[in-house]
Structure formats: structure tokens, C-alpha cells
Amino acid sequence: MKALFKNINYKLLSCVFAVFLLVILILMSVFSVNKTEKQPIAKMVSGNAVEEISEKEIDINSFLNAEIELTLKPNTSGFKLVYTAVPNSTEYEIYRKINGEKGFTLIDTTQKNIFTDTTIITGNTYIYKVRAVIKQKEGQLTSGFSNKVKKKFVWFDKDKKMVALTFDDGPGKYTNKILKCLDKYNAHATFFTLGLQVNKYKSSLKKADLIGCEIGSHTFDHTNLTVLSKKEIKSEINKTDKRIKKIIGRKATLVRPPYGAVNSKVKKVIKKPIVTWNVDTRDWATLSSSKTFDNVMNSVGDGDIILMHDIYRSTKDAVLKIIPALKQKGYQIVTVSELAEYKGIKLKNGEVYREIK
């Protein structure tokens, strides 16, 4: 026995054992990496392609806490929803409820961050919210919900007469009365607001947006833009946009320069469509509801853009009669942007529109 142990080469045995342990450790490491790093746990949308990504490529906390901003715009088909794209999401869930219902219903899922809801009815008010989803073999991850957006839908017939009522210098104390009349007759208008005024009448601005009216900019303090520098023009527009966005969640869509004063500098600086008018009611000069009414009804035509001011009692009284009278004559009362869309005209930044025929 002693002779046997004496003949064993302990140095060689130690080397063989060390090599054996090293092989085992390497094999364990390889299988561990394959199991944890190569197993796909989610899919990422890139255009129309779907590719597998590994756990290290996903920031789960960033996904779960993603802020999704939803905006809503009516078009000829229904409501167009546009919302923030969330990295690594495989799809988005669209939720909706009709005003008065208790809970939201999932109406669709899509891989795109744009969705048009065509299953809506004129006169109903809808509320939407959206969330992002990552699909996994084990289940799915969902982000938080976007902001809720609420809006009344009105469908218009592109083959029938249309006219755009527009109001400058507000909001004011008579704006709500005008909004109630518009809402009653499923009519829309465009309000070119002053930045100085919007914080005083936040509820009016929100109500206008809710019922489908359009919020435009009439600059911050009604300054003639043609006498300002480029920097000053930008300031007039940006300050107004900032206040409007805080109230309704987005900037003004259009600009109406005070006094309708436009030159090449103004057109170059303003990065929005510029809207003037082709029917001037001169309500500010006459302060007469009957003359304002007559100035509209005696000259109105399809595609007209009509100028009024929602800060005068006489204008408010006239509008309460103008709206049903126009409806009786077969006119659809729309926003400037709706008028352009239904007429098939794309409004361009820096261009001036007096009418849309």
C-alpha cells in the first residue's frame, strides 16, 4: 500500500484536477449567459419591422414611467389621435368612453402612435386615453396612461355650403354665451385670442376647445406686427402660445395679425398659417347687433371667413341670431382649419388666407 502511494505523481494529479475544475466553471458560465442574455423578453417596433431585444436593452423603469401626451383633432373621417411614441413598446392601447359612461372601453390596439377613430357619432362627446404595451412570452408590461382628452364630435358634409365665423380680441365676458349657441347648433368657430386675455377666461377657452372650436393667436397685446423686429414678432407669438398651451394642452393653430397687417417679414417669421378675412362686419365700429346681423346675412357666401369680436354685447346678440339664420340657409358653420380640410386645401405656414373657396 505504501508502495502504491509512493508511486503516485501528485503534481500531475493536481494539474489534472485543476484543469477539470476550470472546464466545469467555463461550462457553467456559458450556460448561464445563454439563459439570461439570449432569451428574448420583449419586442421593439421599428417602422413596420419587429425585432427581438434582450433584457439589457430595455430600461423598464423608463418605460413604466413614460409620459405620453395625447392630442385630438377632428377630421373628415372622425377623431385623429396623436400620442407620444414610447421606446421599446410593441403596441398602444386606445381607450374611450362617451360622456356620461362610468368606465373606459378598450376600442383598439395599434403599433403606430397615430390612430383615427371612425366609429363616432355627431353630437356625442368622447373622452380618450392611451397607454403603451410591451408584449412578452410571460405576459405583458404596460405603461401609465396618457392625459385624458375630451371633445365633442360634429361631422360636416363637404358637398354642402360652409362658412367660418371668427372672433378677435377675446376671450371676454360674452364668449360663453356665444359658445352655448354654437354648441346648441353643432356649430364651430375660430377664436383668435389675445395672450393678455386668456388667463382671465380659462373656462371659456376650455369650453371652446371641448365643443370643437379652434383656438388661434391674435398676438399677446394686439401690436401691429409690421412695425416690430423679427425677435419682437416671435415674442408676441411665443408668449401667447405658452399661455394657450397651459390651458388647453397645445399651442394656437393659426395666427391673425392685428389690423390684418402683414408684410414679407411677418410672413417669414410666423411659422403658422396666417388668416385674415373677406367679410368684415364692422361690429367694433357700429356696436349695433342689427347692422352686424345684416352685414353677415347680406354678403355671406360659401367659403367665406367672417370677422367679428366676442368682446361686445351687440356682437353677442347678433351672433345668437346669425347662427340659426345661417343654418336655416343651409350653411355649415366650421372652423377655418375645418373649412380648409373639407375644401381639400392644405394650409401652409406663412401664407395668408382671406377666404377658402
pLDDT digits (tens, 9 = 90+) for 340-351: 999 999 999 999
Q: Which amino acid is at 71?
A: T
pLDDT for 76 equals 87
Backbone phi, then psi, for 332, in 5-degree steps? -95, 130
- Over 80: is that where the pLDDT of 2 sits? no
Buried residues in 34-46 as b, exposed as e (16+ CB within 10 A): eeeeeeebbbbbe
- What is the CATH superfamily name and number for domain 43-152? Immunoglobulins (2.60.40.10)
Residue 26: strand, helix, or coil: helix
- Tens digits of residue pLDDT in 307-333: 999 999 999 999 999 999 999 999 999
Contact assessment for residue 270 and residue 350, using Cβ atoms and an 8 Å cutoff: yes
Radius of gyration of the chain (CA): 31
Report domain extents, the chain: 43-152, 162-353
Q: Which positions are catalytic?
A: 168, 309
More confident residue, 62 or 46: 62
Contact assessment for residue 333 and residue 304, using Cβ atoms and an 8 Å cutoff: no
DSSP state of 249: S
Dihedral angle, C-alpha 168, 172, 173, 178, nearest 10 °: 40
- Over 80: is that where the pLDDT of 110 sits? yes
Cβ within 8 Å of residue 219, ≥6 positions away: 194, 195, 225, 236, 237, 240, 255, 257, 258
For the question of whether the overall pTM of this predicted structure is more than 0.75, the answer is yes
Residue 302: strand, helix, or coil: coil
CA–CA separation, 349 and 274 (whole Å) = 7
pLDDT for 17 equals 61
CATH class of 162-353: alpha beta
User: To which residue does cell 349695433 refer?
Assistant: 288
Same fold? 43-152, 162-353: no
Cβ within 8 Å of residue 230, ≥6 positions away: 265, 268, 269
CA–CA separation, 336 and 340 (whole Å) = 6
- Over 80: is that where the pLDDT of 205 sits? yes
